[in-house]
Amino acid sequence: MYREKFDLTGSTAFITGGGRGMGLATAEALAEHGAQIIISDLDPHVLESGRQELFQKGYKAESVVLDVTKPADVTRVADDVNQRFGPVNILVANAGIALAAAPGEEMSDEVWLKVIDVNLNGVFWSCRAFGKHMLKHGGGAIVTIGSMSGLISNKPQEQPQYNASKAGVHHLTRSLAGEWAARGVRVNSVAPGYIDTLMSRGGFTNPDYFPVWMEYTPMKRVGQPDEIAAVVLFLASPASSYLTGSVIVADGGYCIW
């Protein structure tokens, strides 16, 4: 009975930022449990590398180059994918960036707008475009990728743009969950801590950052992409059928302090 709750056979999943890191690990987890996979990324080389990695592990994946900051493109891709591959009933809105840390009084307009555009606007455009199809077909599961930075203000780095964007993702998740629950679409979020991805690795070698990060992480280690993918799998599958509007924190305990 319980094994069946994680069976995604017959499902179609679309993952933004799926060429590497947590997105690629999520694609593998969903594929392993039977889902048809479509990954997207802004960089075609990263996208093809990710697709080939999945292929080498025995999983077939379609791929689509996509800039999530362009709402018309997101809508066009959602319409096309639903027409070509059948109803997409799982969306993982994973695409995100961090950019350089800077204190609020020195934050440039360009950095602020770029991070908000990818991390928050891009998640909304994706949810809106794919959510319309899910609502039309009577159901689906959306998983957004937030961050523990949407719950706390990280230190010692100063990153108000990133923190604000991820807090927005969490509240957007709750808002859409409330709107769409009665129509069969669940919307949940994962809030990772420090994960071993390309985006975070610069901080791992920073002597001002990493010791502090580990001091405040009870498990005294960074997380791995597959550990986040496992949470996404749960939220995307029937195993979480009574969850919507939830933000699941996977941070090695960082936020308990």
Residues forming the active site: 162
Number of C-beta neighbours around residue 155 at 10 A: 11
Position 153, amino acid: S
User: How many angstroms separate the CA atoms of 167 and 87, rounded?
Assistant: 30
Distances (CA, A) of 148 to 118, 145, 163, 171, 242: 17, 10, 9, 13, 23
DSSP letters, 198-256, are: HHHHHHHT-TTTHHHHHHT-TT-S-B-HHHHHHHHHHHHSGGGTT--S-EEEESTTGGG
Question: How many helices (H) and strands (E) in the chain?
Answer: 9, 7
Distances (CA, A) of 26 to 84, 105, 147: 22, 37, 16
Helix (H, G, I), strand (E, B) or coil at 129: helix
